[in-house]
Amino acid sequence: MNEKLLQLPFEIQAVLAIGYVAYRLATTGLDKHHRTGDFVFQVLVYGALAKAVQELVASWLVGYWLSFGVALPVTLGVAACWRAFGNRLAVAALRKLRVTRENYSPSTWASLLDDRYPWRYVSVLLDDGTWLDSNIDALPPALPHDPLDVDTDGNIALYVTRRTDADGTVNDFDSEGVIDAHGRANLTYVPAASIKRITVSLGARQATAPTSSAEAEAEAKPAEIPDAGC
């Protein structure tokens, strides 16, 4: 199939390439469960948009090949707007009209990762009963890595500011303590297979970040994602 694509006229290859880049921009992190049909038709839709823009620009007597240089940022801009606003607004409209209750994300976990509200406090319950908490709002600035790193598989890396063992022993770490005496920042990676539950406090409506996993449940009423490793 690759050889057949290479035999197509350069104009068609350029349109398909723009369509593919736009598809990747619009679906990054959400395309894991896409089928071949989803991929093909979305590339064709963005490619058709790129071709329409290219033809319109070329009709203004701008150089024919230069018009592809205009079609690329315009198509990518549309894809970025769809990812940032369009998809969310379309789903909200369908739910408002009671057409569906589905959020059309690959999973609830993926929907939470794509949410517009910032994560302020995260508590991770391990399969051995240990709680690892990260008070993101209290972390020092200029850390060598983002305060929180998560993926769609449920793996997570965080700066631990509190550890509660299964026997109830609590170890509070000063938020500045994520950087040790040698100036090294201590980032903890937790694979999804070791996670039993993740509790997240979101920054909606001026929510105050809690100081423990118990307060995260009792006061902030955070979203809970059971079995994050599934």
**pTM, to two decimals:** 0.58
- Domains, the chain, ordered by start: 2-96 (no CATH), 118-226 (2.30.30.100)
Look up residue 13 and give its amino acid.
Answer: Q
Q: Give the mean pLDDT per block of 10 residues along the chain (230 residues).
A: 71 89 84 78 92 88 79 93 84 81 69 72 92 88 83 87 90 71 83 91 57 47 49
Residues 107-157: tens digit of each pLDDT = 677 667 666 678 888 999 999 999 999 998 888 877 888 888 888 788 999
